[in-house]
Amino acid sequence: MVLSVVQGREEESSSVVSSVFASRYVQDPPPRYKMPEKSIPKEAAYQIVHDELLLDGIPRLNLATFVTTWMEPECNKLMAEAINKNYVDMDEYPVTTELQNRCVNIIAKLFNAPSADQTKQAVGVGTVGSSEAIMLAGLAFKKKWQNKRKAQKKPFDKPNIVTGANVQVCWEKFARYFEVELKEVKLREGYYVMDPVKAVEMVDENTICVAAILGSTFNGEFEDVKLLNTLLTQKNKRTGWDTPIHVDAASGGFVAPFLYPELEWDFRLPLVKSINVSGHKYGLVYAGVGWAIWRSKEELPDELIFHINYLGGDEPTFTLNFSKGSSQVIAQYYQFLRMGFEVN
C-alpha cells in the first residue's frame, strides 16, 4: 500500500482523520467527524484505522491498570470464535447461557452463598463490569427497602446508602442516577478505608444498605466486613431495622477466596446480601465482564426481572443493557476451567 503525504492542508488538519494516511484509493483524507462521501476498499480502511491506533498505548505495557491485558492464545481464539454471538439471544445461544450460569454458580460457591449448594441454582448475573453489577445490586436494595416502607405506610422517598469516602465513582453514579443519597464516612489520616463504627453510626431508617469494599480502589486495602456485620446486627436488633450489607469485591473477590480463605467477608456473614466482582480484574478476562451475586432469590425483587419472549422462549433478564457480546462470558468460563481452585 502506498501512503502519500498530503501537504498544505493546515486549515483541514483538525477536520480530517489525517493527511498522512492515504493510499491510491484515498485521494483526500477522510473527514474526522462526518461520514465520508464514498466507500473505500477494506484494505485501505483497515490500514487507516490500524495505523491511527498505533498512537494508543500498548495494553501489555500498561502497568497502571488492574484490568486484564493478556490472555492465552487459546482463549483469544475462543473469544474471536464467539465475537458475533449476541449474549442476550439465549434461545439461539443456549450453550453460552449455560456457561454464564455455570460461572454464576462457581462464583456463588466461591463466595459461600447458601443458595449455591448442590440442590439449588445460585442467583446472579453476568454484567459488563462491576459498575453495572453495583447498579443492579443497589436497585434491588432500593426496591426492597421501598416495598417494606410502603407496606409499613412509612415515607419511602429519601433512601440513602452508607459507604466510605473511598468508594469508586460507580457508587456516586448509582446514587445520582437512581436518586439515593450517598452518605460517606470520612477517611482520616492513616486510615484510608471505611471505619465500620462510624458507618453503623450513620445508618438510619432510610438506609437501603451499607456498602463495604473488598479491595479499595486507591490502596487495595480490605474493609472489615466482619466487624461491620457484627455492629450492624447489634444496631438492627436495637432498632428493629434490617439494614443489609453489599460487598463491592470488584478486585478482592477473586483474591480473598484463594489467598485468605479463612477471612470472613462474604455470604458467611448473614447481613451480606449481595456481592459484585469484576471478571476483568483478577478474574483474568479482558475488559467487559463483571458479576452480581445475591445471597438468595428472596433478595432480588421480582419486579426487577423482565421476561422477554420475542427471541424465542421465556428469557428472564435483569441487566441495564440488552444486547452485548458473549466473548467475555466464554472467556471467564475458560479461566475457571483452566485454572481450577488449586492454590500454588
Q: Of the candidates 88, 146, 131, 90, which has an alpha carbon nearest to the alpha carbon of residue 303?
A: 146
Give the residue with the Cβ less far from ligand PLP, 144 or 281.
281
Q: What angle do CA 238, 244, 246 make, to 5 degrees?
A: 150
In the set 210, 290, 326, 330, which binds ligand PLP (CB under 6 A)?
A: 290
Give the closest residue to 277 by CA, choosing from 129, 138, 93, 119: 129
In the chain, the amino acid numbered 95 is V
Applying the rule CB under 6 A, the residues between 192 and 251 that interact with ligand PLP are: 213, 215, 217, 248, 250-251
C-alpha to C-alpha distance for 73 and 84, rounded to whole angstroms: 19
The verdict on 332 binding ligand PLP (CB under 6 A) reads no
Binder among 130, 243, 319, 327 for ligand PLP (CB under 6 A): 130
Q: Please, what is the minimum distance in Å from the beta carbon of residue 276 to ligand PLP?
A: 7
Q: Residue 166 CB, nearest distance to ligand PLP (Å)?
A: 9
Q: How far is the CB of 115 from ligand PLP (least distance, A)?
A: 23
Residue 198, all three cell numbers:
462510624
* Closer residue to ligand PLP in complex, CB, 15/65: 65
C-alpha distances (whole Å) from 242 to each of 147, 169, 170, 235, 236 are 13, 26, 25, 9, 5
3-state secondary structure of 290: strand
Selected range binding ligand PLP among 44-52, 125-133, 223-231, 302-310, rule: CB under 6 A: 125-133
Site for ligand PLP in 132-171 (CB under 6 A): 168, 170
Instruction: Tell me the closest approach of the beta carbon of residue 222 to ligand PLP, in angstroms.
Output: 11
* Least Cβ distance, residue 17 to ligand PLP (angstroms): 29
Q: Are 124 and 138 in contact (CB under 8 A)?
A: no
Contact predicate 153/315, CB 8 Å: no
Q: How many residues belong to the site for ligand PLP (CB under 6 A)?
A: 13
Interacting residues with ligand PLP between 241 and 270 (CB under 6 A): 248, 250-251
Handedness of CA 280, 285, 288, 292 (dihedral sign): negative
Catalog residues that contact ligand PLP under the rule CB under 6 A. 129-131, 168, 170, 213, 215, 217, 248, 250-251, 278, 290
